[in-house]
Structure formats: C-alpha cells, structure tokens
Amino acid sequence: MMAFLMIESFSDAVLDSISHTIGDALIGKIISNIFLACGIDDVSGESTKWKRLYYTFCAIQREDGCGNRVGSFIESALHPARWTSDDLRNRHPHVRENVNRALLIAGLEVGPDGEPCANRAGTL
C-alpha cells in the first residue's frame, strides 16, 4: 500500500459490502493469515467470515481514526498472487469488481495488479 496515502475511515455501508464480498470469496484460514500479515487482531468474536471482517474493520478504524489498515487488508486480499489456484483464478476479476463498487464511493479502487489507487470519479 502506498505509504503516503491516508485513507479516511470507510462508512459502515462500504465496510459491510466489502466484508460480504471478501467473506464470500475466501476461506477463513486465508482471512486469518491476512489479518496476521497486516497486523490486525480479529477482535470480533464471530465465526461467520463476513461478520469477522466487518466487526474487526469497524474496531480498527475506531482505534486508528482512519481506514489505512482496512486498505492494507483489501490490498493483501486482492493481490493477484492470492488468486492463482484453480478454485480462485476465475473469481478474482468478479471479486475485485464488487469490492471496487464499494470503494468507488470512497474515491478509491483496486487495480488489476492489486494496488489501491485514488479514483477521481468517486461515484458509481
């Protein structure tokens, strides 16, 4: 993630959408590994993947006062190397597109290379 990019906290609706999309796409162990790699503690107490993501994202945004660690998680989750298995290869463009629909509201998007960038349009 670009070190100089300060990401404002995402709205609850954006977090909900991203949580559902990523939670539906990845297995729990991969989500746990991404949390660990991003220095994020799963504080949700939930077992449902989208709820784990949503409540943890809300907690880290409250703690940090920004969306940077959520952005870091998204970047790691959508990195193309994570989607090379036969099971996931064809799903990556669809998942990235759905995440980007939510991120566009915040003026961001994730490119095909997995890198986040500002999107000037900021609308759907």
Q: List the domain boundaries for the chain.
A: 12-118
Rounded Cα distance, 113 and 116, in Å? 9
Comparison of pLDDT for 93 and 124, the residue scoring more: 93
Band (8; pLDDT cuts 50, 70, 90): very high
Are 48 and 56 contacting, i.e. CB atoms less than 8 angstroms apart?
no
Band (120; pLDDT cuts 50, 70, 90): low
- What is the tens place of the pLDDT at every residue in 39-83? 999 999 999 999 999 999 999 999 999 999 999 999 999 999 999
The backbone torsions φ and ψ at residue 117, rounded to the nearest 5 degrees and listed phi first, read -150, 160
Rounded Cα distance, 119 and 7, in Å? 12
Cα angle for residues 34, 2, 22 (degrees, 5° grid): 35
- This prediction's pTM: 0.90
